Every structure is written in C-alpha cells, then in structure tokens.
Structure 1
Amino acid sequence: MALHKDLPPLLALRAFEAVARHLSFIKAADELSVTQSALSHQVHKLEQYLGKSMFVRRTRAIDLTADGQQYYNEIRPALDIIAAATRAQRVAPGTTVLRIGLLASFATLWLAPRLAGFLSRYPHIQVELLPAIQLANVAAAHVDLAIRYGKGGWPDVKATRLMPEVISPVCSPAFKASRPHNAPLLMATSHRPFEWTDWSRHYQVDLQLHPRVMLHDYNIVVEAAVAGQGIAMGRHRLIERRLQDGSLVEAFDWPPYHSDIGYWLISPQGATNEAADCFGQWLKQACGDA
C-alpha cells in the first residue's frame, strides 16, 4: 500500500503539532506566521480527516482530548526525526551536529521542554534527538551521546548519573474511585519491570495476582493510565504535569519510593568532542536544577 494513502494533509499536521505543543492557537499562529483563522481551518481539516476531535475548546483555553494527546505523543517523535533529517541536509557552515539517543518518553516529557535553553546558549550546535526503544549504540558511534534509564552497569561506555527517579503507582482518579479487583499493571515493553520489582519489594506487596499489560513505550503507558486502563508506575520526573493537573493520582496509600533507578548520561570511552562536552555540562546542570 502506498504510504501517501495513510498520510494526513501535512500542512494540517504541522498546524496540529504547533497548537498541541503550545495549547494555544494564538502562540501557534505566531510561530507559523499565519492567521488564527487559517490555523483553525487546518486543524479542523485534520479533525475531519481523522473523523474525531483533537481538542477540547473552551472560552479562554484549549486542551487535548485523550485521542488528541495520544496522537500528539505518537507523531511528535516522527516529526522530530523528519526535522532532524532535514536539518542534516542544510547544516550551516560552522555548525556542529550532535546526535543523542534516548527513549521517546524522556525526550517528550522532560528534555524537549528544556532544550531551548541549550540551543540559545550554543547556537552553533545542532542537536538531533534520536528516540528508540533499543539502547542507542554509543560505543559504535551510531550516536555521540545517549541518555539511559536504569541502574547503570552498561559495558564499554562511560555512564554518569544525572538524577534519581522517584516512583509510585499512579492511575486516573476515576480508576482509583472504582477500586477494581486485581487491577492491571501497565508496563512498557522497552524495560524489564525492575520498577515494579523494586517498589513491591520495598513495600512488601505481592503483585502476582495483578495481570500485566505490556505497551510499546512509556508515553503510551502514561496515556493509558490517564484513560483509566490500569495502574502505571509513575516516574515523577516525567509525569510532573499530570500529577499537578490531577489527571494522575497515587494509586495506593504508600509514599513515593526514592529508588536507585535514575537517568544516566552515556558517552563513549575516551575523549569526546566539544559539542558533546558542552551538552553534557548543560544537561548535568539542568538535571541538578530539576
């Protein structure tokens, strides 16, 4: 089947991404240098194409619907890859390209909102985020740096701990109120379930009777939990906005667990280039301020 048959109108997709990122038609229109009317028309065109609403429109604010949030989370990494590929073909003289491998969830929920600070400080460094489930191969120079989630101990690379993670089971308020028996545990297939193992051992909770639902990526795990599909292990660094707006709440009465799991900066053994050094220093500072 030809690829173009499944692609939505690309101008409409670009409009949707900008509005979803800003949650504002005004800001998105300013960014794209179009009128709000033209932008609204493009978003409506995409909604017609998909056959569903992507936004909840209120008097003075908008928000994504559950479908809209899921669609945004799934297309954003693809758009980032397209943007990175395009930038690579038009690199300005004197620009250094820095390739960083990482999980899509960390890129979307934590790094992307902060990346402008690095780019404003180092405009000559072009950052390419390469999200993937598999561990990015720093040793083979497929990427210059990587950001990994875990407990360390990876061979053939240098690993610097950036920040620890605080974890606790979370779910939607409605799901918690229904208190279903043997609620399903939502897990990302990209990781061994060490979060659940560590948490259950710490609080001496038997999880054997809870079914497991394996999902492709942690972004999807979060959205499934928001949609009331089960209990996710909340990584507080990544779901801070969801906890603040109340779309996710603590599933149990135990306090959050300060685990040994964290985020690590991965670099090749030996010397790194100036761009990698600059990004590493900036990222350590950003994580320290988080």
Structure 2
Amino acid sequence: MNPLPPLGALRAFEAVARLGSVVKAAESLHVTHSAISHQLRTLEGFLGLSLFLREGKKLLLTEEGRIYALRVRGALGDMAEATQRLQSCPKPHDITIGVVPSFALHWLLPRLPDFKAKYPQYTVNLRAGLGFEDMSNGLLDLAIRMGTGNWEGLQQQHLMDETVLLVAAAHFMPRPQTLAEVQTAVVIANPAIQWTSWCQAAGLADWRPKPAYTYNDSNLEVEAVRLGHGIALSRLSLVSAAIEAGSLVKITEIEVPYQYPYWLIWPEKSSASRKLADFSAWIIGQANDFVNGRNS
C-alpha cells in the first residue's frame, strides 16, 4: 500500500485548513468547489478518519486535522523550497557568478560583452551581494570576492591586486593642485578605505581628513565624486573607466595597495566544469590586461 495520499488531496486539505473555506481554497488553487470537496473525501477515505467537523456549510478542523494540517503545511513548504532551489541551480549553459556589487558595476559589466562575443553559448547570471554566499548549495558556479584567501572547502585563484588613489570629478572646483590644497578640500570618505597608507606615501603621516560626507557603500562614494561633491580615495577598479573617459581625474599620481585583493573562487566539485574553465581563462586574461595597462 502506498503510504502517501495523493498530492492533490494534500494541497486541497492544506488550503481549506489555512483559509477556512472550500470556496476560498478553490479560488486559491484555481479549481472548482466540487473538486476541492472530492479531494477532501479522497483524503479522509485514505486516512480512514474525519479531518473536519461539518456544521451546515462550516468546516471545522478536528484536533487530529489541526495537527495533520500543520505537518502537511510544513512538508509542502519543504517541497516548494526544494523545487525552487533545484530550478535555481545553474543549467549547463548558464554561468551564475556571485560578485561584489561595486566591482560588477564598474569593472565587470563593461567587459561582459567581450565574453559573450567569445562564448555566445553561455547565459551569464550575476548575483550581486556584499555577503559571502554559501557555495555548497549549488546556486553559484563561481564568485569574485575580496579578501585574504584560504577559504576552507573552496578552490581559489588570485585574480588581481587592488590599489587606491585620490580622485575628483573633472568639473570639481577648486580642484586641489598641491598636497596643501588636498588638506583643505571637501573630502568624501568610505570606512572600507583607510587613509593611513596614502597619507604616509604622500608625506602627510600626521594628517587625517575630516570628511564632509561618509558613505559605507562604494557605489555611493563614486557617484558622489562624479557629481562633484568632493574628492575621495577610491579603488582603481571602480574609477579607471571614468578616468579614461575624462569624467574623473587623478588628484595626484600617488597610489597605494588596497588591503584585499580580488579572488576567483568556486566549489571543489565544479573544478572540471567546461564553463568554469572558459570563464576563468577569460576573466584572468581581462584582469592581466587591466593590471598591465595600469603599470604601463
């Protein structure tokens, strides 16, 4: 004997128990009232007991029915979540990439058309987020993250180092021309970027800026600079395209290393993946071109 009742009967029962009405359950499941009533009779026949007390047109759950409804609701929820996770897993020709939002916006997005031109068979899905997403759930093929490396249970490839530099909008006035003028300029700060190393490299070891604005999001910081609100220390990967386009300018030529490099990481089980090999080779090449360009 099959120990499980029909799924349709369970769905109908859960809907009636949750909504308190055959009419509402039928509307929720887009079936007729008679279909719901039939499913309830089927389930009660399967179980050999009544799940409802019938008082005229009212249906009241028995105590056994109330407990069963809670467990059925949980089981159906688990099934829905498992189905959604399975549907969300990358398909053979999908590449799903976890990435820091600022890096995705300012560095990766402008380069993705080149990847698509070389590998038209792939669909690229970006999942932007600041958190370190668990890669054991199979929802990501790989991720681009900043950090110190040595993440347990993950394969990792150093992608590139990062530097920070002082920038302003091309139209920002008065634009500092000397280090003395830097010290009196309007400053936009980001807590993720410390000024200590830059000040030491600039010979201003005893000076620290008093920011007029502080933003804990790199995209907000870059946009505020672009709008001409002030000068800021920013990561080169986020501003290099704007500097090349002429909308942002370097205040000085001083660049200092950022404490966290970029890494390409992926689950160990994905190491033999063709799409991982294709995307890794492409993005490592892009990173090398970027680093060589800034060093030339």
By the TM > 0.5 criterion, same fold?
Answer: yes
- Map 1:1-290 onto structure 2 (within 5 A): 96-173=93-170, 174-177=172-175, 179=181, 181=184, 183-187=186-190, 192-194=192-194, 196-203=195-202, 205-206=205-206, 208-211=208-211, 213-215=213-215, 217-251=217-251, 253=252, 255-259=254-258, 261-272=260-271, 273-290=273-290
CA distance in 1: counterparts of 2:173 and 2:122, whole angstroms: 45
User: Normalised by the size of structure 2, how large is the TM-score?
Assistant: 0.55
CA distance in 2: counterparts of 1:155 and 1:206, whole angstroms: 40
Q: 1:209 to 1:215 in 2, by over 3 A?
A: closer
- For structure 2, list consecutive stretches of 5 or more residues without a partner in the other structure: 1-86, 291-296
CA distance in 2: counterparts of 1:276 and 1:242, whole angstroms: 30
CA distance in 2: counterparts of 1:120 and 1:182, whole angstroms: 44
CA distance in 1: counterparts of 2:164 and 2:257, whole angstroms: 7
How far does residue 140 in structure 1 lie from its aligned partner after superposition?
4.1
Q: 1:99 to 1:224 in 2, by over 3 A?
A: same
Note the alpha carbon deviations across 1:63-96, whole angstroms, 9 max, x for none. xxxxxxxxxxxxxxxxxxxxxxxxx89x9xx852
How far does residue 168 in structure 1 lie from its aligned partner after superposition?
0.7
CA distance in 1: counterparts of 2:188 and 2:267, whole angstroms: 36
Deviates more, 1:257-266 or 1:172-181: 172-181
Deviates more, 1:253-262 or 1:138-147: 253-262
Q: 1:281 to 1:227 in 2, by over 3 A?
A: same
1:102–1:135 contact (8 Å) kept in structure 2: no
Q: 1:181 to 1:277 in 2, by over 3 A?
A: same
Alignment partner, residue 83 of structure 2? none
What is the aligned residue count?
Answer: 196
CA distance in 2: counterparts of 1:254 and 1:123, whole angstroms: 39
Q: 1:205 to 1:185 in 2, by over 3 A?
A: farther
Q: 1:151 to 1:248 in 2, by over 3 A?
A: farther
2:163–2:257 contact (8 Å) kept in structure 1: yes
Aligned to 2:158, what secondary structure does the other structure show? Answer: strand
- For structure 1, list consecutive stretches of 5 or more residues without a partner in the other structure: 1-87
Deviates more, 1:253-262 or 1:159-168: 253-262
Aligned to 1:232, what secondary structure does the other structure show? Answer: strand
2:103–2:237 contact (8 Å) kept in structure 1: no
CA distance in 1: counterparts of 2:207 and 2:140, whole angstroms: 38
CA distance in 2: counterparts of 1:120 and 1:247, whole angstroms: 28
How far does residue 216 in structure 1 lie from its aligned partner after superposition?
5.1
Aligned to 1:255, what secondary structure does the other structure show? Answer: strand
Aligned to 2:205, what secondary structure does the other structure show? Answer: coil
Deviates more, 1:218-227 or 1:201-210: 201-210
Q: 1:123 to 1:209 in 2, by over 3 A?
A: closer
CA distance in 1: counterparts of 2:196 and 2:150, whole angstroms: 18
Find runs of 4+ consecutive structure 1 residues off by over 6 angstroms: none
Alignment partner, residue 9 of structure 1? none
